[in-house]
Amino acid sequence: MSNEIHPNQNILSTDAPLSTIDEHTKFEDILAMLMGTFVLSFALNLLQFSGIMTGGTAGLSLLIHYITGLKFGTVFFLINIPFYYFAYKKMGVALVVKTFIAVGLLSLFSEVTPQFFHIKDLNPFYATIVANILMGISFLMLFRHRSSLGGINLLALFIQNQYKIAAGKVQMGIDISILAASAFFVDWHLLGISIIGAIVLNFIIAMNHKPSRYIA
């Protein structure tokens, strides 16, 4: 039996027949991607300003940004390229297109957002809590409109759909690995705060995004 997911199949659904699912409109999908990536870009800028790490593809991009000085938006976009092929093979064209758009929007907003606000002083712990709550909300918004931010998001969604393992748990394991690798490049105090943030983020996803719960 093929493991490929049909393009029209809700990768976040339960066993409910497709005919019973109240689909989001294309306009709602567009608004969700715009709002989700915009809020997420603000959250990531809070983390960058404070020197805080996070997990997932965004965390890996931040780590490379800190090490090399390359722009986060550029690194984030490039890292996601190999995952598009995986998504196309396993999850269908529709998800690939939405993910490509979401990644592009986040890369753009991440570079534009700092032009509109300047922070003189920000407590790293407060920034971490606020940023990760905003990130959790943004991820949920994208997930529920059958989109993602590529990379590890896609992998977590695929594992959830195929093996019924909550996406939050999968992402938590990968996030811990990324944070552990960043220990060589990030101040230990900031790393400790980053771990707290990762726990907050993945708790939000695990609590609100279970394969047996959301169907529309």
Tell me the C-alpha distance between 29 and 155, whole Å: 21
Most confident of the ranges 7-11, 12-16, 153-157, 173-177: 173-177
CA distance 199 to 80: 23
Report the candidate in 57, 167, 63, 62 with the shortest Cα–Cα distance to residue 103.
57
**End-to-end Cα spacing for the chain:** 26
Q: What pTM did the predictor assign?
A: 0.73
User: What span, in angstroms and rounded, lies between the C-alpha atoms of 114 and 24?
Assistant: 32
Tell me how crowded residue 27 is: count the other CB atoms within 10 A of its CB.
8
Residue 39 has pLDDT above 90, yes or no: yes
* pLDDT in the model for residue 215: 47
Cβ neighbours for 42, distance < 8 A, ≥ 6 positions apart: 113, 134
In this predicted model, what pLDDT tens digit does every residue of 62-115 receive, in sequence order? Answer: 888 888 988 888 888 888 887 777 777 766 787 778 888 888 898 899 889 888
